[in-house]
Amino acid sequence: MSILMRHFGTVLAGVILILIGIDVVLLYYSAVNPSILMAINVVFIGLLLLYRGLTESSKGERKFYFIWSLILIDIAVAVLTSTVTGSVVLGISIFIVGLGSIVIYTVR
């Protein structure tokens, strides 16, 4: 078992603190739009949860982590789409479509 799996909570907390530190610097210099920065952070945390789910041995745990990672990635995609296109309605509709596909995945 790798150190990432044994100390996942600590690694996740460390990654979140690193992301917050990078966010503060980028926002201070106005280098990136805040909503795009938030979406990038959420995607990164979603991918970390996806990795955790892929390495779990229990089927229930794998499904739990996979569903939460999909929800986080869905939120990030909706925010990015809404920010880039300027259409909140399009972002909300993408979020609802993604959430619907996640619900369909959960019943299988």
Nearest to 75 by CA among 107, 45, 30, 33: 45
Measured in degrees and rounded to the nearest 5, phi and psi for residue 94 equal -65, -40
Instruction: Look at residue 37 and give its three-state secondary structure.
Output: helix
Condensed to tens digits (0 to 9), the pLDDT of residues 36-61 reads 889 999 999 999 888 888 888 888 88
Q: What is the domain partition of the chain in residue ranges?
A: 3-106
Condensed to tens digits (0 to 9), the pLDDT of residues 4-31 reads 778 888 888 888 899 999 989 988 888 8
**Spatial contact of 62 and 56, defined as CB atoms under 8 Å apart:** yes
Residue 86 Rama label (left phi>0; alpha psi -120 to 50; beta): left
**Spatial contact of 52 and 10, defined as CB atoms under 8 Å apart:** no
pTM: 0.84
At residue 84, what is the residue type? V
Residue 51, H or E segment? helix 34-55
